[in-house]
């Protein structure tokens, strides 16, 4: 498997230049960061959550964990982690657990952690457990479009 076709198409549509960074199999983005010797704060991960009946993608550095209470306060709604099996239909061309943190490519609202808003460069899982995608900060912003942001990590 390689990066998601939906993700690749979306990045091309946005005119974003990207680099694929292959690495040994790593089930978690933090492990991929270790494998590639990239600081965890530069590797973004997506966490699928449910706010009422709506799926959302919380995006934060791989070195951090989502603070559901912060996100819940910011949204003004109760938020819970989605079960991994819930992601299968939403990220159908991705390996289980390797969803790219670009909700717009998949029609999912995205909320960014404040730590990722002004990044110079960002790496993220591309849809498999063997490839990171590297983009410049300006392109990361373009990919995120109208994503909101808050202090959603602990």
How confident is the model over 36-80, as pLDDT tens digits? 888 888 999 999 999 988 999 999 999 999 999 999 999 999 999
Q: Which two tokens stand for residue 66?
A: 């989502």
pLDDT class of 154 with cuts at 50, 70, 90: confident
Is the CB of residue 10 less than 8 Å from the CB of residue 124? no
Q: Any residues with CB less than 8 A from the CB of 73 and at least 6 apart, and which?
A: none
What is the set of domains in the chain, with CATH numbers? 5-150 (3.90.960.10)
Burial of 78 (0-12, 13-18, 19+ CB in 10 A): exposed
Would you state the pLDDT for residue 23? Answer: 85
Q: Inform me whether the pLDDT recorded for 1 exceeds 60.
A: no
First to last CA, the chain: 32
Task: Express each pLDDT in 92-142 by its tens digit.
Answer: 999 998 999 999 999 999 999 999 988 899 999 999 999 999 999 999 999
Q: Which two tokens stand for residue 46?
A: 């997506």
pTM for the model stands at: 0.93
């Amino acid at each position: 498997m390689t990066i998601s076709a939906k993700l690749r198409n979306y990045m091309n549509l946005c005119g974003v230049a990207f680099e694929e960074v292959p690495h040994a199999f790593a089930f978690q983005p933090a492990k991929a960061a270790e494998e590639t010797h990239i600081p965890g704060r530069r590797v973004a991960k997506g966490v699928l959550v449910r706010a009422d009946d709506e799926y959302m993608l919380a995006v934060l550095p791989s070195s951090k964990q989502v603070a559901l209470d912060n996100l819940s306060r910011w949204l003004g709604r109760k938020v819970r982690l989605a079960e991994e099996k819930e992601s299968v239909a939403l990220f159908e061309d991705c390996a289980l657990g390797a969803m790219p943190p670009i909700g717009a490519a998949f029609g999912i609202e995205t909320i960014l952690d404040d730590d990722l808003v002004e990044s110079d460069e960002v790496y993220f899982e591309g849809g498999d457990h063997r490839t990171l995608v590297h983009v410049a900060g300006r392109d990361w912003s373009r990919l995120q479009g109208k994503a909101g942001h808050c202090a959603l990590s602990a």
